[in-house]
A and B are shown apart, each in its own frame.
Chain A
Amino acid sequence: MPEAIRLAFVIAAKDIRAELRSRTALLSALVFAALVLVIFNFARDPTVLAATDLAPSVLWVTFAFAAMLGLNRAFNVEREHGALDGLLLAPLPRSSLFWGKLLANLAFVGVVEAVTLPLFVLFFNVDLSAALPGIIGTAALATVGFVAAGTVFSAMAVRTRFAELMLPVLLLPFMVPPLVGAVQVTSRLMAGRPLSEMLGWLRLLALYDIVFLTISTLTFAAVVDE
C-alpha cells in the first residue's frame, strides 16, 4: 500500500479508536438527531401536510445538522495537548492528514446517518423498503461533498474563539447544493419515480464531490502549514 494511503488510514484509525473510547461527540450527535426528528414531528400538522411531502427535507436537515456537530471533533482533539505539532513534524504528507481526518469524519457521519434513518422511518411512518438502496447511495454521495469542505473549515474554525458558531457560518452555504440534490433525489426515490428524473441531480452531486474533494485536499496544506 502506498505510504501516503497507509498513513491516512493510521490517522483515521486513531481518530476512530479515540472516539469509540469516549463516545462523547457521537452520542451528542445521535441524541441531537433524535430530538430534531421529534421536534419536526410535533411541529407539523399531519392533516395539512402529508409526511411524504416533508419527509425528505426533514431527513436531510437532520442529517446535515447532526453531522455538523461532529465535524469540530476532528481538530479539537489535536489541540488538547498540542498533538497537531506532532503530526506536522512527522514525515506525514498534509494530504494524508486531510484524508485521514476526512475518513474519520465520514465514519462518524455514517454512523449518525445509519442510526437516524431507522428512527426517521419509525417516527414518520414512511415505507422506504423499495427506495432504501437508492437512499443509501444518495446519502453517501451527498455526504462526501459537504464533509470534505467541512473538514477544511473545521480545521480553521477550531482556531477561533467560537468554533461551534464559526463552522456553521462557513459551512452552511456549502451544504446547500448537496442537500438540495439529496432531497430532490430522495423525494423522487420515495415516490418511485424513474431514474431519468434524478440523473441531473445525481450528476450535480457527483460533480460537487469531485470538485470539493479536490479543492479541499489542495487547500488543506495552506490551513495547517504556517
Chain B
Amino acid sequence: MSPDLARANAVVRRGFWISALAFLGIAGVYVLALGFTPVEARQGVAQKIFYLHVPAAWCALLAFSLVGIVSALYLWLHDPRLDLFAASSAEVGVTFSAVMLTTGPIWAKPIWGTWWTWDARLTLTLFLFFLFVGYLALRAAIHDRQERARFSAVVGIMGLLLVPFIHLSVYLFRTLHPQPVVLKPSAPSLPPEMLRTLLISFAMFSLLYLGFVTVRYGIGLALEARELRDAG
C-alpha cells in the first residue's frame, strides 16, 4: 500500500473515532435534555427538540460558511487541499441540511399543525440546502480537477455572500407581514440549565461535523492516491 493511501486511511480512521465520540456526546445530550433540563412552560416536552434541532441547523450554516471561507482561501493560495476540504464540508453540510429539513416538518406537524413555516431558521436551511446542491452539482459536472476547484470556489464565495441577503429578505418579509403567531422552540432568554444543555449540544454537533468532514477528507485523499497509482 502506498504511503499516501496509508495516510488517507489513517485520516478516515481518525474521523471515524471523532464521529463516534460525537454520537455518544449527542446521545448524552439527549439524556441531559430529557432528564436533567427543566421543561419549558408553554410548549411542554415537545420543546426539547430545540436542543437537537437548533445545533443541527447551526452546523449546516457552519459547514456552508467554511465552504465559503475556504473557497476564498483557495482562490488566494491555490492549495488543492483547501478544495478537498471545501468539498468535504459541502457534502457534510448537505446531509445536515437534508436531515434538518425532513425531521423538522415531521416533528412540526403534530406540534404546530402545519408541515412548514417560513420562519427564519427553516428558510435559511432550505436555501443552504439549495446552495449545497448547486455547488455539488457543479462539481459533479466538471471533470478537470483544477477547473472544478476554481469554479466551486467561486460558487462557494458567492453563496456565502447570499446568506445575509436571504436573512435580510426573511426579516423584512416578516416585519411587514406579521405571521400568525406560531409557538417556536426558541426563547429570548434561557435559564442556565437550558443554556447549558444547548451549549453542550452545540459542541457535540460541531464535533460531529468535524468527524464527518475528516472522514470525507480522508476518503478524498484515498481516491486521489488510488488515481495516482492507477495513472502509473
Query: Once bound together, how far apart are the Cα atoms of A166 and B142, in whole Å?
Result: 11
Query: Once bound together, how far apart are the Cα atoms of A177 and B130, in whole Å?
Result: 14
Which of A185-208 touch B at CB < 8 Å?
A: 197, 200-201, 204, 207-208
Number of A-B contacts (CB under 8 A): 82
Whether A166 contacts B169 by the Cβ 8 Å rule is: no
Expressed in whole angstroms, the minimum distance between the Cβ of A168 and any Cβ of chain B is: 9
Q: Mark B39-66, 1 if CB is under 8 A from A, else 0.
A: 0000000000000000000000000000
- Does residue B166 face the partner (Cβ distance < 8 Å to A)? yes
Q: Report A-chain residues with C-beta under 8 Å of the C-beta of B10.
A: none
- Does residue B181 face the partner (Cβ distance < 8 Å to A)? no
- Does residue A160 face the partner (Cβ distance < 8 Å to B)? yes
- Does residue B158 face the partner (Cβ distance < 8 Å to A)? yes
Whether A176 contacts B166 by the Cβ 8 Å rule is: yes
Expressed in whole angstroms, the minimum distance between the Cβ of A154 and any Cβ of chain B is: 12
Whether A172 contacts B137 by the Cβ 8 Å rule is: no
Residue of A nearest to B164 (CB): A211
Q: Mark B117-157, 1 if CB is under 8 A from A, else 0.
A: 00000000001001101100110011000110011011101
Q: Report A-chain residues with C-beta under 8 Å of the C-beta of B138.
A: 156, 160, 166, 169-170
Interface centre among B150, B151, B159, B172 (most CB of A within 10 A): B151
Whether A222 contacts B154 by the Cβ 8 Å rule is: yes
Which of A173-188 touch B at CB < 8 Å?
A: 173-174, 176-177, 180-181, 184
Name A's interface SS. Answer: helix
- Does residue B162 face the partner (Cβ distance < 8 Å to A)? yes
Whether A152 contacts B162 by the Cβ 8 Å rule is: no
Q: Which of B147, B150, B172 contacts A201 (CB 8 A)?
A: B172
Q: Mark A202-226, 1 if CB is under 8 A from B, else 0.
A: 0010011001100110010011001
Q: Report A-chain residues with C-beta under 8 Å of the C-beta of B161.
A: 211-212, 215
Q: Which of A153, A173, A207 contacts B131 (CB 8 A)?
A: A173
- Does residue A81 face the partner (Cβ distance < 8 Å to B)? no
Query: Once bound together, how far apart are the Cα atoms of A170 and B169, in whole Å?
Result: 19
- Does residue A21 face the partner (Cβ distance < 8 Å to B)? no
Whether B134 contacts A169 by the Cβ 8 Å rule is: yes
Whether A173 contacts B169 by the Cβ 8 Å rule is: no
Whether B146 contacts A226 by the Cβ 8 Å rule is: yes
Whether B158 contacts A177 by the Cβ 8 Å rule is: no
Whether A219 contacts B134 by the Cβ 8 Å rule is: no
Whether B141 contacts A162 by the Cβ 8 Å rule is: yes
Q: Mark B165-178, 1 if CB is under 8 A from A, else 0.
A: 11011001100100
Q: Report A-chain residues with C-beta under 8 Å of the C-beta of B155.
A: 153, 156, 170
Q: Which of A174, A180, A216, A223 contacts B151 (CB 8 A)?
A: A223
Whether B172 contacts A173 by the Cβ 8 Å rule is: no
- Does residue A66 face the partner (Cβ distance < 8 Å to B)? no
Query: Once bound together, how far apart are the Cα atoms of A175 and B150, in whole Å?
Result: 22
Q: Report A-chain residues with C-beta under 8 Å of the C-beta of B153.
A: 222
Query: Once bound together, how far apart are the Cα atoms of A181 and B169, in whole Å?
Result: 8
- Does residue B11 face the partner (Cβ distance < 8 Å to A)? no
Q: A156-B155, A173-B162, A204-B169 are in contact. List 20 more A-B contacts (CB 8 A).
A: A152-B158, A153-B155, A166-B137, A166-B141, A169-B138, A170-B155, A172-B130, A174-B162, A176-B127, A176-B169, A177-B165, A184-B176, A197-B176, A211-B165, A215-B161, A219-B75, A219-B157, A219-B158, A223-B151, A223-B154
Which A-B residue pairs are the 7 nearest by beta carbons?
A160-B141, A177-B165, A219-B154, A170-B134, A156-B151, A173-B130, A177-B169
Instruction: Please report A residues at the B interface, Cβ cutoff 8 Å.
Output: 149, 152-153, 156, 159-162, 166, 169-170, 172-174, 176-177, 180-181, 184, 197, 200-201, 204, 207-208, 211-212, 215-216, 219, 222-223, 226
Query: What are 20 pairs between A and B in contact, CB < 8 Å?
Result: A149-B158, A152-B154, A156-B154, A160-B138, A160-B142, A166-B137, A170-B137, A170-B155, A173-B131, A173-B159, A174-B162, A200-B172, A200-B176, A201-B172, A204-B168, A204-B169, A207-B165, A212-B161, A215-B157, A222-B150
